[in-house]
């Protein structure tokens, strides 16, 4: 693979991150690039790794997910070299975000992660965001990693129920 080809994939990632005001996950970026057949998984991971290493993007790891966002250096690089992305590819990326932006954003507004605080004590942090605004955050102590993992996994599917329950319960006047 030529350096020009790898550079194109990096520019495509920068272009994608520039189209949104929220971080994209590894799987969200992969969904577009791999489904369109631009490259394979390993080359895409190399491009993401290079972008992160050169600090053109920020990477955050939460509960087995990598979240990528643009930083100033990435924006400047895209401004200088964005013309190297063919117009057809830009159009496909724009169309992808026009069709999926709401779904992509909603996937990233619900987060859950945990860490081991001390032996037999795990701290689980579950959050719901609206853009960059925190709507609700819950921190729980549990006694084993299986419980922590289960809470994180279930939070994505049940967060709406929990949020509704909290609002309803806390707004009742006695």
Q: What tens digit of pLDDT does each residue of 109-165 get?
A: 888 888 888 888 999 999 888 767 888 899 999 999 899 989 988 988 888 888 888
The tens digit of pLDDT for each residue in 93-116 reads: 999 998 887 777 777 788 888 888
Per-residue CA distances from 55 to 22, 128, 129 (Å):
17, 27, 25
Start-to-end CA distance of the chain, whole Å, equals: 69
Identify each DSSP E strand in the chain by its residue range.
24-25, 57-62, 65-70, 110-118, 121-130, 133-142
Q: Print burial letters for 106-127: b (CB count within 10 Å at least 16), e (below 16).
A: ebbbbbbbbeeeeeeebebbbb
Q: So what's the pLDDT on residue 174?
A: 67
CA 106, 128, 55: angle at the middle one, nearest 5?
Answer: 70
Give pLDDT tens digits for 2-11. 777 889 999 9
Give the separation between CA 75 and CA 57, rounded to whole angstroms.
9
């Amino acid at each position: 693979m030529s350096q020009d080809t790898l550079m194109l994939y990096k520019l495509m990632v920068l272009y994608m991150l520039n189209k949104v005001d929220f971080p994209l996950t590894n799987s969200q970026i992969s969904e577009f690039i791999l489904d369109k057949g631009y490259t394979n998984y390993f080359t895409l991971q190399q491009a993401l790794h290079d972008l992160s290493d050169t600090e053109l993007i920020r990477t955050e790891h939460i509960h087995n997910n990598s979240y990528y966002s643009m930083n100033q250096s990435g924006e400047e690089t895209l401004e200088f070299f964005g013309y190297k992305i063919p117009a057809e590819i830009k159009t496909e990326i724009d169309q992808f975000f026009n069709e999926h932006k709401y779904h992509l954003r909603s996937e990233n507004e619900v987060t859950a992660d945990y860490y081991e605080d001390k032996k037999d004590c795990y701290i689980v942090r579950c959050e719901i965001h609206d853009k960059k605004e925190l709507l609700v955050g819950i921190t729980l102590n549990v006694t084993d990693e299986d419980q922590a993992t289960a809470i994180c996994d279930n939070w994505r599917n049940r967060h709406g129920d929990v949020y509704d329950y909290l609002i309803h319960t806390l707004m009742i006047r006695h």
